[in-house]
Amino acid sequence: MPLPTGGHILFIYVLSLLFALVSAQDLSVPTSWRKPSTSRPLSERISISQDAINSILPQLDSATGEFNGIGYWQAGNVWTAIANHDHFAGTDKNKALVVNNLNTAFKLHAHYDKYGTTTMRFGGRKQHCRATEPIRTKIFCRMPLTLGMKSQTTVSSSVITKADANSKKQPKKNFSIAGSCNEATMAGGVFWRTTTDDQSINSITTGLYIATSALLAEITGDSKYTKAAVLSAQWIKAHNINANGIILDSVNGHDCTRSPSNWLFTYNSGKFIEGLSVLASVTKDSQWNNLMVHTVAAAVKSSTWQGSDGIITEGSSPTSNNDGVGFKSIFIRGLYEAFSRNPRNANLRVLLRSYVDVQYNALLDLAATKSTYSSSWHGPPQSFTTWGQLASLDVLGSAIRINS
C-alpha cells in the first residue's frame, strides 16, 4: 500500500525518538501484571518443561523431522526449544533426538529451504539450528560453524549492499530497487524471498541476518560479519521502527511502500532484540545496547499483543493453527538472549524475568491440561493441539534458567 501522507514526518519523529533512548527507557515492572514471579524449585521447572516436550513427541514424523499439525518452520522452532531445554537444564537427554531429526530435515531440503524464502535459508523462520552456538556453548544441536558461514554467505546474495543502493540495482532482482526511502539508504535490507520478482524486504529476515552475522563475528572475529550485522541493524533502525518503538513488518524494495501499520508481530521485535544483544556484545557500541533496551521496554509493555495483565494474546487460536502461534515463541527466545547477555543491567533483567514469569504462570494456571497447553494463554484449558504445545515450549524452557 502507498506510504501514508505524513510518512516522512513519522520517520523524522522516529529518528528523534531514537536519539532520546536513554532518557525514554522505562524498565519498571507494571503493577498490573499478573503473577510476575514463581517460587517453583529448579527441579520442578525442569520437569514441567521436559513433560511438555514428551507430550509433543507422539506427533513427530521421523521421515521428515516435522510434526503433525504444524508447518515446517514451526517444527524448526520445536527443535530449537528442545535444544534450549537441554542447555538450560544442563543435560543431553534430548541430544540424539534433536540431532537425528535435524539431519533428516536438512537432507530433504537444499539450503534448509522448503518454501523459497530467504528466512528458510537460515534453517527456518527462526534459525532453528543456528550456526555458531556449538562453538560458543555446549548446545549440541546447532549447525557446525562451516554450515553457518555457508548460510550467511547464501543469504548475503539477497542483501542490498551500499553499491546496490547507489546503482539502484540488485543482482538477484529483475526490477530497479529504491536506493533510499524517506532519505535513508536501503543498504542492509534483506529481501524476504529469493525469486527475482519479489520486492518485499522484511524485519524478520533482516533480523535473522543481523543475529547470524553478529554471532559469526563473535566466533570468528572476522570484521566482514560485524559490518554486515551493523549495516542491517542500521536498516531496521532507519526504516522499520514505529513511533512507539515497535518493529514494523516490511518495506517494498522497489517503491518504498510499506506493510499496513497494524502489521505488528512479536517475532519482529524479538528477533531484533536478539540480534542487537549479540551485536552490542561484539561491537561494544552503546547505541546498539541502548536500542535493544529501548525495544525491550516498548515490546514487553505494548498493548498491541497483550492487555494490562501482561499476558500475550497473539496467536491465541484454540481451534486452528496459524503463524502467530509460533511468533510469540520467537519473541520469548529473543527476550531470553537479552537477559543472558546483560548480567549487569539489574533493572532490565528483573523486567525480563517478570515478563517471562507472567507467561509461565498463565500457562500453568490458566491454559494447562496436565502437561499440554492451549495456544490461548488466558485459557481455558483444552485438549492437546500441536500448535498450542509448540507455543508453550520456549516459555517453559526459559523459565528454567531465567529464575535461577
Q: What is the pLDDT of residue 5?
A: 38
Q: What is the pLDDT of residue 24?
A: 57
Q: What is the pLDDT of residue 108?
A: 85
The domains of the chain are located at 7-402
Q: pLDDT tens digit string along 261-270?
A: 999 999 999 9
CATH architecture of the domain formed by 7-402: Alpha/alpha barrel (1.50)
Q: What is the pLDDT of residue 116?
A: 52
Written in H, E and C, the secondary structure of the chain is: CCCCCCHHHHHHHHHHHHHCHHHHCCCCCCCCCCCCCCCCCHHHHHHHHHHHHHHHHHHEECCCCEECCCCHHHHHHHHHHHHHHHHHHCCCCCHHHHHHHHHHHHHHCHHHCCCCECHHHHCCCCCCCCCCHHHHCCCCCCCCHHHHHHHHHHHHCCECCHHHHHHCCCCCCCCCCCCEECCEECCCCEECECCCCCCEEEHHHHHHHHHHHHHHHHHHCCHHHHHHHHHHHHHHHHHCECCCCCECCEEECCCCCECCCCCCCHHHHHHHHHHHHHHHHHHCCHHHHHHHHHHHHHHCCCCCCECCCCCECCCCCCCCCCHHHHHHHHHHHHHHHHHHCCCCCHHHHHHHHHHHHHHHHHHHHHCEECCEECCCCCCCCCCCCHHHHHHHHHHHHHHHHHCC
Q: What is the pLDDT of residue 64?
A: 93
Ranges of residues in the chain whose predicted pLDDT is under 70: 1-24, 110-147
Q: What is the pLDDT of residue 9?
A: 43
pTM of the model: 0.89
Q: What is the pLDDT of residue 371?
A: 98
